[in-house]
Amino acid sequence: MTLHSRITGTGSHLPPRRVTNADLVAQLAEGGIETSDQWIVERTGIRARHFAADGVQCSDMALDAARHALKAAGRDASELDLIIVATSTPDMVFPSTACILQNKLGANGCPAFDVQAVCSGFVYALTVADAMVRAGSARCALVVGSEVFSRLLDFSDRTTCVLFGDGAGAVVLEASETPGILASDLHADGKHVGILCVPGHVAGGVASGDPFLKMDGQAVFKLAVGLLEKSARATLEKAGIEAADVDWMVPHQANIRIMQSTARKLHLPMEKVVVTVDQHGNTSAASIPLALDHAVRAGQVQPGQTVLLEGVGGGFTWGSVLLKM
Ligand code: ACO
């Protein structure tokens, strides 16, 4: 019998501190930086984001999201036999945030590792977990995206600091006789490193250099729309499913205009697109599982429906996953 993997539970976490555009406008004004609610909404669709309190780590948010996902799946952490965390803002250089999360969950013993593909991280992590489940090396996996992106922001750079937020999302992915994950498609092209990066680095064991996010927004925008359409079409073709048969698209929540353009190219009405960027901003690897969990809990995404996940991020990395809930 062919083994499949299927999502059996979702969960998420948002830090309690909600920062509206008006809050951010006032905060930036103190540093002499001018922006406006109107500019942010018109260019990005973002109205608010959440920022983690000082001292809150990536693994803390991952833990809360994981607990909600485990509860929804009716599983105990002790039943996990694989943990993958997608993040670009780990607690430490090492060990991995997945190991730290594993210990906080009390799931010690199972393999645990991080995936670093920036905003495509969750799509990458889910694809790896699916492959491991289908290969028979895991039966109950936890896949998390968690980010404290606020720590990478230069609040004197208005072109980037208004775009991002913090949060976490998680899914429990289990071995199943019926198909859940139907197909996926992953890519990277390292020649685009310079258009979206945090150039700080570890050299001789010491973290040094510029710790803040740098982005050529227009270059990212142009690349993103074309690559997302191509990847989505490749995944649909692998699964033998037409775009018209997709019930929901849950895109990486970077910018409403990128989501609208991708939906338009795939001839998907915006009513089929899960949108949380307005309330969460761009939470990088957390954004897809966070949006998925919100849509599941709001009763939008229903069991049995066909869902297309797609993401693009620094690297450049991009990819998509088609699944049945
Ligand atoms: N408030 C007010 N004005 C601003 C702000 C701001 N926060 N930021 C920039 N501006 C100004 C610029 O200075 C510029 O002014 P000028 O015309 O006088 O020079 C003007 O607004 C237009 O700037 P553009 O950069 O041309 O604005 P654009 O329409 O391209 O929007 C944006 C910028 C929102 C960044 C857009 O390019 C975008 O969304 N790009 C994709 C970003 C993205 O998705 N990144 C995430 C990828 S995932 C990951 O891996 C992290």
pLDDT in tens, 91-109: 999 999 999 999 999 999 9
Check if the beta carbon of residue 65 is closer than 8 Å to that of residue 13: yes
- Our answer on whether the CB atom of 160 is closer than 6 Å to any ligand 1 atom is no
Interatomic CA distance for residues 20 and 39, integer angstroms: 13
Q: Would the pLDDT of 84 be above 80?
A: yes
Confidence of residue 206 (pLDDT cuts 50, 70, 90): confident
Q: Would the pLDDT of 72 be above 90?
A: yes
- Our answer on whether the CB atom of 313 is closer than 6 Å to any ligand 1 atom is yes
Ligand 1, atom 47, residue with closest C-alpha:
313
Range 191-213 average pLDDT: 86
Secondary structure (DSSP) of 137-204? S-SEEEEEEEEEGGGG--TT-HHHHTTB-EEEEEEEEEEESS-SEEEEEEEE-GGGGGGEE---EEET
Q: Would the pLDDT of 290 be above 90?
A: yes
Q: Which atom of ligand 1 is nearest to the CA of 252?
A: 48
Check if the beta carbon of residue 319 is closer than 8 Å to that of residue 311: yes
Percent of the chain having pLDDT more than 70? Answer: 100
- Our answer on whether the CB atom of 155 is closer than 6 Å to any ligand 1 atom is no
Q: Would the pLDDT of 121 be above 80?
A: yes
Range 48-61 average pLDDT: 96
CA of 214 to the centre of ligand 1 (A): 12
Confidence of residue 201 (pLDDT cuts 50, 70, 90): confident
Q: Would the pLDDT of 202 be above 90?
A: no
**Residues in Cβ contact with 66 at an 8 Å cutoff, skipping those fewer than 6 apart:** 11, 77, 101, 105, 142, 144, 170
**Residues in Cβ contact with 64 at an 8 Å cutoff, skipping those fewer than 6 apart:** 11, 13, 168
Is 21 among the catalytic positions? no
Is 4 among the catalytic positions? no
pLDDT of residue 2: 85
Confidence of residue 209 (pLDDT cuts 50, 70, 90): confident
Is 252 among the catalytic positions? yes
Q: Which atom of ligand 1 is nearest to the CA of 160?
A: 35
Domains of the chain, start order: 4-176 (3.40.47.10), 181-324 (3.40.47.10)
pLDDT of residue 189: 97
- Our answer on whether the CB atom of 235 is closer than 6 Å to any ligand 1 atom is no
Interatomic CA distance for residues 138 and 113, integer angstroms: 14
pLDDT of residue 260: 97
pLDDT of residue 208: 82
pLDDT of residue 313: 96
Q: Would the pLDDT of 262 be above 90?
A: yes
pLDDT in tens, 143-169: 999 999 999 999 999 999 999 999 999
- Our answer on whether the CB atom of 282 is closer than 6 Å to any ligand 1 atom is yes
CA of 282 to the centre of ligand 1 (A): 14
pLDDT of residue 207: 73
- Catalytic-role residue among 68, 252, 280, 294: 252
Range 257-272 average pLDDT: 96
Q: Which atom of ligand 1 is nearest to the CA of 311?
A: 48
pTM given for the model: 0.96
